[in-house]
A = this chain, B = another copy of it.
Amino acid sequence: MYRSHTCGALSINNLNQKVTLSGWIQKIRDKGFVSWIDLRDRYGVTQLVFDTERTPESLLKTVQNLGREYVIQISGTVIERESKNPNIPTGEIEVLVANLTVLNTAKTPPFTIEDKTDGGEDLRMKYRYLDIRRNPVKQNLIFRSQVAIAVRNYLSGQGFIEVETPYLIKSTPEGARDFVVPSRMNEGQFYALPQSPQTFKQLLMVAGMDKYFQIVRCFRDEDLRADRQPEFTQIDCEMAFVTQEDILETFEGLTKHILHHTKGITVEKFPRITYADAIKKYGNDKPDIRFGMAFGELNALAQGKGFQVFDNQELIVGIAAPGLADYTRKEIDALIDWVKRPQVGAGGLVWVRYNHDGTFKSSVDKFFNEETLLAWAQALQAQPGDLLLVMAGSADKTRSQLSALRMELANRLGLRKADTFAPLWVTDFPLLEWDEESKRYHAMHHPFTSPKPDDMHLLDTDPGKVRANAYDLVLNGNEIGGGSIRIHDKKTQQKMFSLLGFSDAQAKAQFGFLMDAFEYGAPPHGGIAFGFDRLVAILGGQETIRDFIAFPKNNAGRDVMIDAPSTIAQEQLEELHINLTKSED
């Protein structure tokens, strides 16, 4: 038996007990006649004490030779501390050590194992097994497992069955790039790793499984942006015999349960907004609604007044930044520079100070009188003391630029509070989006999403206008889930594939099994999938998913700890019937 208690367990209630502890040496303080060791394990830290009066000399000598991160086992007696530490649960006691065994030595770690470490990202990743010893990372992983348990218990309680779908599946050209796996037994053929279990969950609905979920790994071979991983985890769900309303209700319930059980937070009914309104109001299909600053459109109030910058633009749109009327010219100029950066790309910014006394001062005083500016302020729901910021240009671009400004201001104003949770359903997404490069429509969600029955007639005449029975769940400005009612008849599915530029032969080769399945009694069905990594990160009050993944990969898709990917033996290549091509550069 290596321990009678963990290092987080002992308190004043254990006084005078003989205990055995095991753990890592966090810190050694040697005052000559007395030494203390902070002993750490997953559960906490317990202070060990050694002194010239009560500790055998041989043991004192052993202590001399210990170092940080040594693994030791001790036994001793729980005694009361002289100087107590009210900040930790074990802060009232210490253990007077009688025996000590070194279970393992340790080299000096390449960075400090403390909450605030001196280790940079690269070093932390290379020695991830040391990084996880640090409380913030350890707690993130524990929190992740708690969220998973909450999800599983809720969904199981609602009659959902977790079904494991295969990881070795078939490559499909739609969507992102697949990772593929050469088959040794089937020469010249490849499996693909799933980008999601989409078709399998739909087949499970055809199979009558009715309520399915799975917390499942998915794979996308994409050029990695800052916070993407080639493998990521999804809470994947599907239901049969449901309408969109049933699905929103069910997964609103799940999200409330998670918030309640892992954060102790109760959220009322989630607001809903259509995609079109979200774009109009926030310039964004995943608006952060922890704060206001909704857009106001000013075309009617701002055009035809002689200010040529506005007159010929498609859209004039503004927001009221709360309390920023006191911004100096310098601060405002800095804001203007910020929107002109290539990352935002705006041409400029018209500003109007709505002073505390109700007067106005703006960059366009020459063109607009106080009365007009007051009308602007009203359109933007501004209060005295706010700073109105107005942009103009083509609608899509301007909205997206103003959205970036809105988020920036919220950051500056501290309005994006990590402990506030504001979920929002965004509904009625377009079915298709036009891709200029390939000159064809792409599925906005995926090719299995059902058009809205009301818009079905537009499929032939104006496909870009067709709305889908598709919805996203947005939390604090992040899309944490998305789904749709699916197509469940072969004819509509064929139509959809043809709109997406599949030939009949391609559709049959790739998705024949699904369309076949639709002919054997497919029920109406729909579902949703949550990005589990992001969900956990946001619930944890952070936005970087890497900190919530035990062994993440870097932006080149490498695991720098194990040094993967790596070369493989020629023998392996031969067995797989492949060889490497020569690089052309």
CB within 8 Å of B: which residues of A?
A: 1-3, 22, 24, 40-43, 69-71, 73, 103-107, 109, 127-133, 138, 141-142, 144-145, 148-149, 152-153, 156, 161-171, 173, 177-193, 199-200, 203-204, 206-211, 217, 219, 221, 223, 230-231, 233, 241-243, 246, 488-489, 512-513, 517-524, 549-551, 553, 556-559, 561-569, 572, 574-581, 583
Question: A161 touching B141 by the CB < 8 A rule?
Answer: yes
In the bound complex, CA of A568 to CA of B566 (Å): 23
A169: which B residues are within 8 A, CB to CB? 559, 562, 564
Question: A203 touching B129 by the CB < 8 A rule?
Answer: yes
In the bound complex, CA of A117 to CA of B2 (Å): 56
Contact partner of A129 (CB less than 8 A), chosen from B43, B179, B206, is: B206
Question: Could you give 25 example pairs across A and B, Cβ below 8 Å?
Answer: A24-B208, A41-B208, A42-B211, A71-B522, A104-B521, A128-B207, A129-B517, A133-B208, A145-B156, A168-B553, A168-B565, A170-B559, A170-B564, A170-B565, A171-B572, A173-B569, A179-B181, A179-B191, A180-B576, A183-B565, A187-B583, A189-B566, A200-B551, A577-B580, A579-B581
Contact partner of A185 (CB less than 8 A), chosen from B107, B180, B556, is: B556
A148: which B residues are within 8 A, CB to CB? 162
Q: Interface majority SS on A: helix, strand, loop or mixed?
A: loop
A73: which B residues are within 8 A, CB to CB? 241
CB distance from A549 to the nearest CB of B (A): 7
A568: which B residues are within 8 A, CB to CB? 171, 180, 190, 192
Contact partner of A565 (CB less than 8 A), chosen from B103, B165, B191, is: B191
Interface centre among A105, A145, A577, by most B CB within 10 Å?
A145
Contact partner of A223 (CB less than 8 A), chosen from B185, B561, B562, is: B185
CB distance from A145 to the nearest CB of B (A): 4
In the bound complex, CA of A524 to CA of B24 (Å): 12
Given A145-B156, A170-B564, A190-B565, output 19 extra A-B contacts at Cβ < 8 Å.
A41-B208, A41-B241, A42-B211, A70-B521, A105-B521, A106-B521, A145-B161, A153-B153, A166-B553, A167-B167, A167-B217, A168-B179, A168-B553, A170-B562, A171-B572, A173-B569, A178-B572, A185-B557, A579-B579
In the bound complex, CA of A446 to CA of B182 (Å): 26
Question: B42 touching A210 by the CB < 8 A rule?
Answer: yes
In the bound complex, CA of A576 to CA of B221 (Å): 11
In the bound complex, CA of A522 to CA of B23 (Å): 10
In the bound complex, CA of A512 to CA of B564 (Å): 12
A513: which B residues are within 8 A, CB to CB? 561-563
In the bound complex, CA of A557 to CA of B183 (Å): 9
Chain B: which residue is nearest A246 at the CB level?
B1
Chain B: which residue is nearest A576 at the CB level?
B180
In the bound complex, CA of A185 to CA of B224 (Å): 10
In the bound complex, CA of A173 to CA of B161 (Å): 37
In the bound complex, CA of A231 to CA of B168 (Å): 8
- A177 in contact with B188 given A129-B206, A200-B551, A523-B103 (CB within 8 Å): no
A182: which B residues are within 8 A, CB to CB? 180, 182, 578
A163: which B residues are within 8 A, CB to CB? 141, 144-145, 550
Question: A578 touching B577 by the CB < 8 A rule?
Answer: no
In the bound complex, CA of A574 to CA of B180 (Å): 13
A521: which B residues are within 8 A, CB to CB? 24, 69-71, 104-106
Chain B: which residue is nearest A25 at the CB level?
B521
A42: which B residues are within 8 A, CB to CB? 208-211
CB distance from A244 to the nearest CB of B (A): 12
Question: B107 touching A71 by the CB < 8 A rule?
Answer: no
In the bound complex, CA of A518 to CA of B185 (Å): 38
Question: A566 touching B203 by the CB < 8 A rule?
Answer: no
In the bound complex, CA of A578 to CA of B557 (Å): 18
In the bound complex, CA of A204 to CA of B141 (Å): 11
Interface centre among A161, A558, A581, by most B CB within 10 Å?
A161
Question: B171 touching A142 by the CB < 8 A rule?
Answer: no
Q: Which 3 pairs between the two chains have the least Cβ-Cβ distance?
A: A106-B521, A132-B207, A170-B564
Question: A230 touching B168 by the CB < 8 A rule?
Answer: yes
Question: A22 touching B523 by the CB < 8 A rule?
Answer: yes
- A207 in contact with B41 given A489-B104, A513-B561, A523-B104 (CB within 8 Å): no
In the bound complex, CA of A249 to CA of B40 (Å): 25
A578: which B residues are within 8 A, CB to CB? 182, 578-581
